[in-house]
Amino acid sequence: MTIRRILTVDNAADLAVLKQKSLPVEAVTDETRALMDDMLETMYDAPGIGLAAVQIGVPQRIIVMDLAREDEEPAPRYFVNPEILTSNEATVPYEEGCLSVPDIYESVDRPSTVRIRYLDYNGKPVEEDADGLYAVCIQHEMDHLEGVLFIDHLSRLKRERAITKVKKAARAA
């Protein structure tokens, strides 16, 4: 397994990739699983609770996630070609972060629950309901598959401030 570089919004070339729409995966193969293994290792190393393949420069519709707390056993989840089937009308705010927008946390409103369908690590179809942090995280990650970042849900002023902060921090590093 390999830790890959996470693309960030301060870099114009990275941003162009992050804004791309990811393509469906034709079949879940050993190559797909090797990519998901690298993604999970990259996410744990960051550290983060979710990661979309496009964040490591691979615009395919793949997400990994682990919402286990530090005192719990790891609980990796893998999503290939995920779809949102239904969304609750009620929305909830959550202070989101993103590994591609490092050290910026802002409140975003999203549907409180969603029903999703996806292929798992073995290519088996799964349909389930997501609520709480699971609902927030899967919607954040599925936005990445459409080239949408959580800062795109903010006002233009807040988004520009966030990007300026990330650029300043990158220059200072």
CB of residue 9 to Zn ion, shortest distance in Å:
10
Q: Which of the residues 128, 141, 146, 160 is marked catalytic?
A: 141
Contact between 136 and 42 under an 8 Å Cβ cutoff? The reply is no
**Is residue 22 a contact residue for ligand K1U (CB under 6 A)?**
no
Residue 31 catalytic? no
Half-sphere exposure of 106 (CA within 13 A, CB side): 20
What's the token pair of residue 3?
């830790």
Q: Which distant-in-sequence residues (6+ apart) come within 8 Å of 107 by Cβ? A: 93, 94, 95, 96
Strands (E), the chain: 50-52, 62-66, 76-87, 91-96, 106-111, 113-119, 125-131
- Coil vs helix vs strand at 149: coil
Number of residues that bind Zn ion (CB under 5 A): 1
What is the arrangement of strands in the sheet containing 125-131, beginning at the earlier edge strand?
50-52, 62-66, 76-87, 113-119, 125-131
* Residues 92-121 as x/- pattern, contact with Zn ion by CB under 5 A: ------x-----------------------
User: Residue 48, interface with ligand K1U (CB under 6 A)?
Assistant: yes
Could you tell which of ligand K1U, Zn ion, none binds residue 38, using a CB distance below 5 to 8 A set by kind? none
CB-nearer residue toward Zn ion: 62 or 98: 98
Q: Taking contact as CB under 5 A, which single stretch among the options 13-21, 36-44, 91-99, 126-134 is the one that binds Zn ion? A: 91-99
Q: Binding to ligand K1U by residue 130, rule CB under 6 A?
A: no
Binding partner selected for residue 42 from ligand K1U, Zn ion, none, CB under the kind-specific 5 to 8 Å limit: none
Which helix H or strand E contains 144, and what residues bound it? helix 132-145
The residues of the shown chain that bind ligand K1U, judged by CB under 6 A, are 47-51, 55, 96-100, 136-137, 140-141
Which residues are known to be catalytic?
141
